Amino acid sequence: MIPVLDLSEIPPEDEALRAPVRAFLQERLRGMPAERRARSWMGFDAEFSRDLAAQGWIGLTFPQEYGGLGRAHFARYVVVEELLAAGAPVSAHWIADRQSGPLILRYGDETQRRFFLPLICRAEAFFCIGMSEPNSGSDLASVRSRAHRSQGGWVLNGRKIWTTNADRSHFMIALVRTSGTTDDRQKGLSQFVIDLSLPGVTVRPIRDLAGDEHFSEVFLDDVQLGEDALIGQEGAGWEQVTAELAFERSGPERFLSSIVLLEEWAIYLRSLARPSEQDEVLLGRIVAHMTALRALSIAVTARLVRGDKPAVEAALVKDLGTELEQLIPAAIANALGADPGHASPSALRHTLAYTSRMAPSYSLRGGTREILRGMIARGMGLR
């Protein structure tokens, strides 16, 4: 059975970060249209990331010797919650701050930590994740990209796809096979950090249904890697990737993807002389869902702080969260169309259009709904 998630609290010293982050964002994002803010953690702005880094707010959970602030997970929770609530364009540093940095800190060797972590904290190194391949989506253990030992290192061949920010990142952390065959499944997989400027790396951006180009296909042809490109243990890639995904799935981003749209709609409702009863009910329902989700998400973070590995709990919160994130655009579309011919602000409608288009991706990226529910069922002892 999955252990109960107890109500937990953000410690005051971490909560204290909220006011300065908020003040910074108010100033820095002034005038940015809602439709752009709605891109949430898909919005890429390297200059913004560097300004944030200058405040010390990237990699702030890393120890000070590696350029971080040595703060607890809750400090990052507070910063991230404010960034997402404001619709800040965090995509450039997002993956490094959330996953790649913590992964290097945990499994990397001292040389790797000293090299990469300070770069991440200064927003001078952006990362992408090379897990998915054309024939390996949910079945991640079936990856076919492969690294062979060579003199003084490794030679890498294969293909990755849907790699967010591959075209704008400096490094990729890729999961590839280093021994055995796909029949060996989770055994024989390893993680490498790949400098994307190396010969043999070709990145081809893919346009998404909203017209943006945030993910890419990445071709890896005889890419020569040094010994120092291996992260952690050879053959321990699966375990490392699983730990990484618990970080990916647990944060406040898992219920805030549609928040800019919700805030815009609430602003619009406030501007009306009298919002309809249906609108009030809908807003109340959404907020009631968010109430439970935020508390659950904080409870999962409390587990991380204690050093647990709440992978199943994180999957549970993510699945619940994406459901709400997808309900928000669907229900607001219904609400705005409830009175044909009635005018609503065009910024609101554009934000709605964007959020509605991207909403299906919420329950794909980071593990599909069916896969997460499979994890929960296992947690409940059914598999």
Ligand X SMILES: Cc1cc2nc3c(=O)[nH]c(=O)nc-3n(C[C@H](O)[C@H](O)[C@H](O)COP(=O)(O)OP(=O)(O)OC[C@H]3O[C@@H](n4cnc5c(N)ncnc54)[C@H](O)[C@@H]3O)c2cc1C
Q: Report the partner that residue 279 touches, choosing among ligand X, other proteins, none (CB closer than 5 to 8 A by kind).
A: other proteins
Q: Report the partner that residue 280 touches, choosing among other proteins, ligand X, none (CB closer than 5 to 8 A by kind).
A: other proteins
Name the residue type at position 381: G
Name the residue type at position 157: N
As a whole number of angstroms, the distance between CA 93 and CA 127 comes to: 7
Torsion of CA 283, 286, 288, 290, to 10 degrees: -130
As a whole number of angstroms, the distance between CA 273 and CA 289 comes to: 26
Q: Report the partner that residue 132 touches, choosing among ligand X, other proteins, none (CB closer than 5 to 8 A by kind).
A: ligand X
Tell how far CA 368 is from the center of its chain. 14
Q: Report the partner that residue 298 touches, choosing among other proteins, ligand X, none (CB closer than 5 to 8 A by kind).
A: other proteins
Measured from the CB of residue 362, what is the shortest distance to ligand X in angstroms?
Answer: 9
**Contact indicator for 253, 41 with CB cutoff of 8 Å:** yes
The one among 72, 131, 230, 316 contacting ligand X by CB under 6 A: 131
Q: Which is nearer to ligand X, 209 or 273 (CB)?
A: 209
Q: Which is nearer to ligand X, 236 or 371 (CB)?
A: 371
Measured from the CB of residue 128, what is the shortest distance to ligand X in angstroms?
Answer: 6
Site residues (vs other proteins, CB under 8 A): 1-2, 4-7, 9, 12, 81, 85, 256, 259, 262-263, 266, 269-270, 275, 277, 279-285, 287-296, 298-299, 316, 319-320, 370, 372-374, 376-377, 379-383
As a whole number of angstroms, the distance between CA 342 and CA 340 comes to: 6
As a whole number of angstroms, the distance between CA 324 and CA 259 comes to: 10
Q: Which is nearer to other proteins, 38 or 147 (CB)?
A: 38
The one among 8, 99, 164, 356 contacting ligand X by CB under 6 A: 164
Residue 162 interacts with ligand X (CB under 6 A): yes or no: yes
Q: Report the partner that residue 269 touches, choosing among ligand X, other proteins, none (CB closer than 5 to 8 A by kind).
A: other proteins
Place of tokens 């010390």: 56
Number of residues that this document lists for the chain: 383
Window of 188-196, 262-270, 341-349, 367-375 that interacts with ligand X by CB under 6 A: 367-375
Binding mask 203-232 for ligand X (x = CB under 6 A): ------------x-----------------
Q: Which is nearer to other proteins, 18 or 144 (CB)?
A: 18
Q: Report the partner that residue 162 touches, choosing among other proteins, ligand X, none (CB closer than 5 to 8 A by kind).
A: ligand X
Which residues are near ligand X by CB under 6 A?
128-132, 137-138, 162-164, 215, 361, 364-365, 368, 370-371
